[in-house]
Amino acid sequence: MADFFQMMYDWATSGVWSWAEQSIFYLLAKASIWWIELKTKTLVIAMSMAYQAISDLGISAMLNRAFGSVDSSVLGLMTYLKVPEGVNMLMSAALTKMMMRMVGL
């Protein structure tokens, strides 16, 4: 009987702390993994929302019409400098930023 109480005393004075430390590390690791997975999933949702908004608003068609109305020599220079791709990237980035703020990233 004294061995049992000695074992309980030893566990309470040293064993419980190592168990608590390991448990806290385990829970923190699981919470960190869960947080990263949540952020990854919300990022995917935000990106799909941004691309859907781009297609619904007709930004690509509007840009095509705007660049179609430009003089051919100016359009050639703009195409050489890749201005349409740059404008498209800027619009995509702005919408993605807006969607990420809405989702909470």
Give pLDDT tens digits for 42-78.
888 877 877 787 778 777 788 788 888 888 888 888 8
User: Per-residue pLDDT for 25 more than 90?
Assistant: yes
Which has the closest alpha carbon to 97: 47, 35, 40, 37?
47
- Global pTM reads 0.53
CB 30 within 8 A of CB 87: no
What pLDDT is stored for residue 105 in this prediction? 63
* Whole-number Å distance between alpha carbons of 67 and 77: 12
Q: Is 53 or 80 the better-scoring residue by pLDDT?
A: 80
Range of weakest confidence among 26-30, 82-86, 95-99: 95-99
